[in-house]
Copies of this chain bind each other. A is one copy, B any other.
């Protein structure tokens, strides 16, 4: 699936990138505070550093901003993740480290992650699938790791179990962000990570399962 196009009347591609970066940065902060619906386009323009007229030169509707924000958050999470994950091989140890790093990335971007999960439903029928697709790509990263481990005889899981485990890992990361009102009062990130690893991988940590 190619990136959904956000139409603009501007020709200079470099300018488009720059303005949109400003826009996303400003909007994320606002969405964090007040949510998408309670944020006005004027506020977005202001916190982006340009006028409402200019804002509309680079987007077609308010919803485009939300799409741009979601898109950018995914890109950032994914990018950071890929950067860190690549190094380790397909071992249980590698999988553990990947999870650890994933949790760390979520922790660093928790505001953004929160925004995305709370506001994504406001995306149009048009943009939503693209965002969900991105999510599946991230789950796919874990799935690949798991399957790599299985190929390496690190442990045994069937197809569906692998898939679900990948989802599991993914959701537990998000959980750190959107249940932070409780979790982060009771656990440090380190504690949380350790316990999650225990729950998620305990069976596999000693010997291949029969």
Contacts and interface: CB of A to CB of B under 8 A. Distances in A.
Looking at chain A's contact residues, the main secondary structure is helix
B179 A171 contact: yes
B199 A164 contact: yes
A164 B62 CA distance: 39
Q: How often does this chain occur in the complex, in copies?
A: 4
A110 to B, nearest CB: 14
Given A136-B182, A183-B167, A191-B160, A121 B35 contact: yes
Most buried by B among A35, A168, A203: A168
Interface of A: 35, 37, 118, 121-122, 132, 136, 160-161, 163-165, 167-168, 171-172, 175, 179, 181-183, 186-187, 191-192, 195-196, 198-200, 202-203
Given A160-B186, A163-B186, 20 more contacts: A37-B37, A118-B118, A118-B121, A132-B181, A160-B191, A160-B195, A161-B195, A161-B198, A164-B187, A164-B192, A164-B195, A165-B199, A167-B175, A167-B182, A167-B183, A171-B179, A199-B199, A199-B200, A202-B203, A203-B203
